[in-house]
Amino acid sequence: MQLINLDAVISGKAPKLRKKLPTWIIRMMERLICQREMNDILTRLGHNKGAAFAKAMSQDMGVTYTVDGLENLNRKGHYMLVSNHPLGAFDGISYIAVFGDFFPKIKVIVNDLLMYIEPLQSVFLPVNTMGKQKRADIENLQQAYNDPDTQLISFPAGFCSRYIDGRIQDIEWKKSVIKQSIESQRDIVPMYFEGRNSFAFYALEWLRRQLGMKFNIGLILLPRQMMKTARGKHFRIRIGKPIPYRHFDQSKTETEWAQWLREECYKLKDS
């Protein structure tokens, strides 16, 4: 079983930075991301793969779910399921746990850093949100879009929700979600995930924006949100009715349609 090794991750992702960091900072960061707790789960539950691991991890952490609207879906549909992104990591794992038995084959588009969770690699499609995409990742993503048997789960914001205008919400959704729906002829299913991270997470993100920092320092806290904040929580998931890909016509630009879709997702909150 491949365990989480932050030192190796930094060395691989940013070797120049690693040379500048003293060992005591690495050890402090390991505690911050709950490396020991994550490796404990991987050691005990890592024999499970894909949806089985996601379900086992949810049960081990005492996480439960209420799912509304599952009757809107056809097990043999050709979908792109899109959602808000309040947790930044565990919402993706939650969707795998929820849909793992419903659909024969699912894939979740995620930040490539999550690929270090080895038992979930088979259901993850990595995207590098901070740099150049790997050719293999691009090819695997395109293959998944073209596979009629694979249901795709996507977070069109691309980043975790933030505290904006007095409430926790996604940033503007990327127009690529509309383009990909049309090109792959996938109906879009809007979903709303009811959950939130800790106050410290949103405060750090707010401070980053105030200081004009480009580096997404909130990524550092996401593993801790997954292991600490999500533990013992009950999450509610609302699933809307599929929207035919033909609905996205020339009456709006792809950018406008993406924001319309975002609003449709948030309307599910009060449904």
Q: Give the pLDDT confidence of 79-133 residue by residue, as tens digits.
A: 999 999 999 889 999 999 999 989 989 999 998 888 889 999 999 999 876 667 7
The answer to the question of residue 179 being in a domain is yes
Written as one letter, the residue type at 94 is S
User: CA angle, corner 136, sides to 132 and 137, nearest 5?
Assistant: 60
User: CA angle, corner 13, sides to 11 and 14, nearest 5?
Assistant: 65
The CATH number assigned to the domain holding 217 equals 3.40.1130.10
* Whole-structure pTM value: 0.91
The answer to the question of residue 222 being in a domain is yes
Q: Tokens 């050709």: give the residue.
A: 78
Written as one letter, the residue type at 227 is M
List the domain range (segments joined by +) for residue 69.
Answer: 50-270
- Give φ, ψ of 225 to 5 degrees: -60, -40
The answer to the question of residue 92 being in a domain is yes
pLDDT of residue 131: 63
The answer to the question of residue 13 being in a domain is no
pLDDT of residue 130: 62
Query: CA nearest 191: which of 63, 54, 76, 85?
Result: 85
DSSP 174: P
The answer to the question of residue 23 being in a domain is no
Domain count, the chain: 1
Is beta strand 124-127 parallel, antiparallel or unpaired with respect to 106-111? Answer: parallel
What is the phi-psi region of residue 120: left when phi exceeds 0, alpha when psi lies from -120 to 50, beta otherwise? alpha
pLDDT of residue 42: 95
pLDDT of residue 14: 82
pLDDT of residue 215: 66
**Segment 250-255 long-range contacts (CB within 8 Å, at least 24 positions apart):** 253/175, 254/175, 254/176, 254/178, 254/179, 255/175
The answer to the question of residue 40 being in a domain is no
Q: Which residues contact 67 (CB under 8 A, 6 or more apart)?
A: 98, 236, 237, 239
d(CA 219, CA 189): 27
Per-residue pLDDT in tens (0 to 9) along the chain, 271 residues: 789 898 988 888 788 888 888 999 899 989 988 999 999 999 999 999 999 999 999 999 999 999 999 999 999 999 999 999 999 889 999 999 999 989 989 999 998 888 889 999 999 999 876 667 788 888 989 999 999 999 999 999 998 999 888 899 999 999 999 999 999 999 999 999 999 999 888 888 888 778 877 767 677 788 889 999 999 999 999 999 999 999 999 999 999 999 999 999 999 998 7
The answer to the question of residue 2 being in a domain is no
pLDDT of residue 128: 78
d(CA 184, CA 145): 6
Written as one letter, the residue type at 253 is T
Task: Enumerate the β-bridge partners of residue 111.
Answer: 127
The answer to the question of residue 20 being in a domain is no
pLDDT of residue 9: 85
Is beta strand 64-68 parallel, antiparallel or unpaired with respect to 79-83? Answer: unpaired
Sheet containing strand 79-83, strands side by side: 64-68, 234-239, 187-194, 79-83, 151-154, 106-111, 124-127
